[in-house]
Chains A and B, each alone.
Chain A
């Protein structure tokens, strides 16, 4: 069955069974592998994308549910000219990623939070950022979110 939807601003037709999780449709049918598989049960957030602007764990949403909607993945965050989204840039400036595997999801969650709140408070960050990072990059994620929203400068000690 073909599901018509919009992914990263482009109309696409996904040839998949309707119960296929959006995650696997993105990864295997559209080749958008920036969205990661971590748990499959909505417990880790590695698969986070935006559906009509809402943060969504794509492992737990059937692809049929996004018919006619607009999906944004990590690959769709950059500007048309290739410039990084300010959150992506803040992630580089604060040197957030370690293994990096959770970071697509973390960035999508942070972007959604910032779109919603403008300048999130510490409590809002705590509440919204529930994605797991096994490498423990949380302190730097906090720092990067503050920097991306103009609430703090990223001090990079000893940078060359």
Chain B
């Protein structure tokens, strides 16, 4: 490990003769650009990431967007740790959407994950990674990547290298050897003489020194900030209403627009009589796009009233025959073509069909962004998971040179996978309308448009087969039909001699994108429910059955055993209650969950308590990491119980929170979260808490009723 890590750093250093920043940006013009964008006056700028101002303020530029997952604070903790900074003076800002901040540490992380060969990637020259990252416009947040890639490979190194330069500068000024200096709370200290210098007074000169790429990172046992549940930096502004989200942004003379898109995805706007809208007080303009109509008015209410006055006609793009049922039927047919397993003598063959619907992210803040085109320059404000790509997209839609487009990232009211620019139609829509008006314009999607024009989790049907005998799984074959190959998520952590998962491509008219935990939620539900079925078929306790397929001493076994112990697995429960267990590995983290459930009088499930045990290697901020697991688990339950996007005649049926029900407080359990600090390679935390929730609940309901849930959501099936 140590050797590989060095290779990675030396590779980075070689490019600019020892300057560490080259790990993150490949050429010197790039570094200059980052300095120009962030440094003012006497500030010194280290790399693309950290700035120390004269007043000792340490500004960490996060290339990631924080949509509530707390990664900004975690990244700042990592910089502060290595820098020995004074925590009270650390602030985090979004890095501007500029290629200078494109994220090579992230590219490296993803490439390592994709190739499954971290060693190979580590040996690649950093310039290559950086170039690849930039050409992919990689400034994204997703894949639970911020802390584990950017933080581990980027922020900590930046902090350590900066610290070293500050110490070197101090040594020169105090005329003492470096070895006699220590650092604490943003000061370099010479204990012998009690002399000390503030980082702020050293910063500018220190930044001009060549930075060492081969810095030594702190040992775990010396951590002061990493591993601490420090309070999140963004929270105070979120309790007094002062936090400004994309929807809150405003400019003088700004107008507000709203939109109606073709109800059937793929359809086009065929005609609209704009006069009734223009007759509404406050409405200023109606704009027709290829597949949508927009009304621009003084305010959102007037725009909405203008829209209500319109009766636009849309085509269905040839998708009018599509429905949820027709998609499942087509998917079932594909799966049925898969090769059949044959049980040997004495073995049992089990086959089961599972289904999971399209799901909507339902971020709490609907899409809302502002744009202003003036003097040939297009400025945009809003929250997206990849500001840099958004900038490129806006440039293309508007027909403006990318250099003349500025994207200003803002905090987001949730994302959950919805805010990746390629699926964020709002960027294209807004860029186009901004070019047609002389004033700044904010486009707000209504919740109805948000629900009906989503980038959904794909609808998937799966056929699972397994051969069992003597309380063991001998063979497993699954066929699943969906848009993309979910090979990574289709696996199980158990030792099964013959395992195969076969993807059958099915493409609907919907844009299938990311939904928190991507494909791990559907496949986690299928696989962990089916494992439960196999345990039952073999007459074995579901927990024991699972553990008998895990290696002694493995991380997985420890996670499973720990959750069983904490949840009191096997202990008697009050009448009418039952437990279910499930374990899913995703984004580099292993998570096992137990839920304790009952049925309410009306037959709907009620979860009383839930337990989650997580091995994500190391937690940077356990307090915040626990929040991510709690939230993921509850979102998983919410989806399993009531959420679905269905299609009729090619259009989405659901329209708002009245028919797309999100779990509320009264139905949310207390969640006991426990982390196993294994020290293994760092895994994600934003997504992995979600996938085990649905199967754990479904398994509990089976234990309760003897009825197996094979299709989600549970409520819709109960009604049928």
Residues of chain B contacted by A84 (CB below 8 angstroms): 239-240
Q: Are B235 and A97 in contact (CB under 8 A)?
A: yes
Contact of A130 among B237, B624, B638, B664 (CB under 8 A): B664
Contact indicator B364/A102 (Cβ below 8 Å): yes
- CB of B566 within 8 Å of the partner chain: no
Contacting residues, chain B, for A156 (C-beta < 8 A): 229, 623
Binary contact track A12-32/B, C-beta < 8 Å → 1, others 0: 000001011100100111011
Is the Cβ of B364 less than 8 Å from the Cβ of A133? Answer: yes
Within 8 A of B (CB), among A1-58: 17, 19-21, 24, 27-29, 31-41, 43-44, 46
**Contact B70 A88, beta carbon cutoff 8 Å:** no
Contacts of A28 in B (CB 8 A): 256, 299-301
**B668 in contact (CB, < 8 A):** yes
Known: A132-B664, A139-B671. A43 touches B634 (CB 8 A): no
Whether A101 and B245, one on each chain, are in contact in the complex, defined by CB atoms closer than 8 angstroms, is: yes
Mark out the residues of chain B between 658 and 689 whose CB falls within 8 Å of any chain A CB in the assembled complex: 658, 662-666, 668-671
Interface residue? B228 (CB, 8 A): yes
> In the bound complex, do residue B413 and residue A101 qualify as a contact, i.e. CB atoms below 8 Å apart?
yes
A138 to B663, CA, bound (A): 10
Which B residues form the contact surface with A (CB < 8 A)? 67-70, 87, 224-225, 227-232, 234-245, 247-248, 250, 256, 281-282, 299-302, 362-366, 411-416, 444, 446-447, 622-624, 626-628, 630-635, 638, 656-658, 662-666, 668-671
Of residues A73, A74, A92, which shows the largest number of chain B Cβ atoms within 10 Å of its Cβ? A92
Q: A46-B364, A75-B240, A157-B229 are in contact. Are A126 and B447 (CB under 8 A)?
A: no
CB distance from A1 to the nearest CB of B (A): 11
How long is the Cα–Cα vector from A37 to B671 in the complex, in angstroms?
A: 29
**Cα(A40)–Cα(B658), bound, Å:** 11
Jot down 7 A-B pairs with beta carbons below 8 A, ordered by A.
A27-B248, A36-B364, A37-B444, A44-B657, A100-B413, A104-B241, A158-B227
Task: Place the interface of chain A in its size category.
Answer: 35 or more
Which 4 A-B pairs have CB atoms at the shortest separation, nearest pair first?
A: A34-B241, A101-B413, A99-B68, A100-B238
A129 touches B (CB below 8 Å): yes
- Contacting residues, chain B, for A138 (C-beta < 8 A): 634, 664-665, 668
Main secondary structure of the interface of A (DSSP, over half): loop
What 19 additional pairs, Cβ within 8 angstroms, besides A101-B364, A136-B634? Answer: A28-B301, A35-B241, A38-B364, A40-B447, A41-B656, A44-B364, A75-B241, A78-B240, A88-B240, A95-B235, A98-B69, A101-B414, A129-B665, A130-B665, A135-B364, A136-B635, A139-B634, A139-B668, A156-B623
Any B CB within 8 A of the CB of A134? yes
Contact present for B414 and A39 (CB under 8 Å): no
Q: How distant is A118 from chain B, measured CB to nearest CB, in Å?
A: 20
- The reply to whether A103 and B239 form a contact with Cβ atoms under 8 Å apart is yes
Which among A38, A100, A101, A140 has the highest number of chain B CB atoms within 10 Å?
Answer: A100
Q: Quick one: given A38-B364, A43-B656, are A134 and B635 in contact (CB under 8 Å)? A: yes
